[in-house]
Amino acid sequence: MERKGILPGQVPRGRGAASNAAGRYERLSHEAAFDGWDIPHADRTLRTEVRAETPRSALAWNGSPDLPFDRSVNPWRGCEHGCIYCYARPSHAWLNLSPGLDFETRLIARPGIDRVLAQELARPGYQVAPIALGTNTDPWQPAEGAAGITRAVLRVLADHNHPLAITTRGTLIERDIDLLAPMAERGLVRVGISLTTLDADLARRMEPRAPAPARRLAIVRRLTDAGIPVRAMVSPVIPALTDHETEAILTAARDAGAVAASQIVLRLPREVADLFRDWVQANVPDRAARILARVRELHGGQDYDPAFGRRMTGQGVWADLQAQRFRLACARLGLAIRLPPLRCDLFAVPPKPGDQLSLF
């Protein structure tokens, strides 16, 4: 039976969620309880567990009209960064795990996904277009350091000269500059670094195991110095909590070397709404009512409106004003909102041992 709660006295230290409610697909809920064999002074800190999954496919396809890509690769399920607002949390319910603490403590690694990806790219009918990496959970979260699964995916894409759009906030991406810099030189890659706030204390509570804001800006500088184009992703913009930082975040990112920027307003699909509501009331009780009211105003009176064209921008007066602020700040700072397309004409399946080579 899967764990669906935390034991009395167990401390979710360094975690974003404070609960572990069952996912929406489960018929039963479970509550953890001591069996009477308590050990005084025992360490009850929640530890991160990593399980391996044998991937049957590598490319995840989508038909969303408000996404700039139709395919992505996810080397990991779940994310130890523990961002309380993460829209990917509900995906853990598909695994019979909780979108709460399970999402950030019970990770699924996908070793071998690089080999599956290479097979899919080699199929005769494959039509090249940019692959997105990091759209669901962060491919450079801490567990990647020992596993090297994301790096193996990068090797495949580099060998194929395949265009790649990256989203991350993990410092481990610096490890892979040796692969990314040559790809950038060929016009094959760009990186988006997520920047939610410049307030280190707020970031530590809201994104407990993600790099601090200053460290993320250092990533921007390292990638820029290596010739890799970086987009500052002001995401999510949280009304009445982080929205006032928009111009400051963009300025800091530009000064660190970012050449482009984007923003997405807070969205709270399914279980994320309750998790975020609990977090706000516990961490910023003086502003909780205002934040939650503004979120509902953004989404037509609901916690979340999943409609295409509105889910990432919101609607109403506040959404319009925020969009104007963002555009004006980008224009003043010289940050592009759109970048030139990545090159697709270089794509080629590398020859395998024993293949007949071309004479020309």
Residue 3 has pLDDT above 50, yes or no: no
Residue 184 has pLDDT above 80, yes or no: yes
Here the tokens at position 207 are 């994104």
Q: Mean pLDDT, to the nearest integer, of 40-54?
A: 78
Nearest to 312 by CA among 331, 299, 294: 299
The residue with greater pLDDT, 124 or 354, is 124
Residue 357 lies in a domain: no
Residue 99 has pLDDT above 80, yes or no: yes
Residue 341 lies in a domain: no
Range of the domain at 165: 49-333
DSSP state of 45: B
CATH of the domain at 287: 3.20.20.70
**314 vs 51, 232, 262, 310, 342, CA distance in Å?**
37, 20, 14, 5, 28
pLDDT value at position 34? 60
DSSP state of 353: T
Residue 349 lies in a domain: no
**141 vs 48, 239, 265, 285, CA distance in Å?**
12, 27, 23, 30
Residue type, 123: R
DSSP state of 187: T
Per-residue pLDDT band for 276 (boundaries 50, 70, 90) equals: very high
Q: Mean pLDDT, to the nearest integer, of 87-97?
A: 93
Q: Is 281 helix (H, G, I), strand (E, B) or coil?
A: helix
Q: Mean pLDDT, to the nearest integer, of 108-135?
A: 97
- Provide, rounded to the nearest whole percent, the portion of the chain with pLDDT above 90: 79
CA 143 to the chain's CA centroid: 15
pLDDT in tens, 336-350: 999 999 999 999 999
The residue with greater pLDDT, 34 or 317, is 317
Q: For 3-12, 90-99, 219-228, which range has the lowest pLDDT when averaged over its residues? A: 3-12
Residue 22 lies in a domain: no
Q: Which residues contact 40 (CB under 8 A, 6 or more apart)?
A: none
Residue 151 has pLDDT above 60, yes or no: yes
- Burial string for 181-219 (b: 16+ CB within 10 Å, else e) reads eebbeebbbbbbbbbbbbeeebbeebbbbbbebeebbeb
Distance, in Å, from the CA atom of 209 to the CA atom of 27, rounded to the nearest integer, reads: 32
pLDDT value at position 2? 41
Q: Mean pLDDT, to the nearest integer, of 156-176?
A: 98
pLDDT value at position 43? 52
Residue 308 lies in a domain: yes
pLDDT value at position 359? 54
Q: Mean pLDDT, to the nearest integer, of 133-154?
A: 96
Residue 243 lies in a domain: yes
pLDDT value at position 47? 86
Using CB atoms within 10 A of its CB, is residue 344 exposed (0-12), middle (13-18) or buried (19+)? Answer: middle
Residue 162 lies in a domain: yes
Q: Mean pLDDT, to the nearest integer, of 52-57?
A: 96
Distance, in Å, from the CA atom of 340 to the CA atom of 116, rounded to the nearest integer, reads: 29
Q: Mean pLDDT, to the nearest integer, of 102-120?
A: 97
Distance, in Å, from the CA atom of 210 to the CA atom of 221, rounded to the nearest integer, reads: 18
Residue 41 has pLDDT above 80, yes or no: no
Residue 347 lies in a domain: no
Number of domains in the chain: 1
Helices (H), 112-212: 113-121, 144-147, 149-159, 177-185, 200-206
pLDDT value at position 5? 53
Residue 130 has pLDDT above 80, yes or no: yes
pLDDT value at position 4? 45
Residue 259 has pLDDT above 70, yes or no: yes
Q: Mean pLDDT, to the nearest integer, of 281-289?
A: 95
pLDDT value at position 1? 33
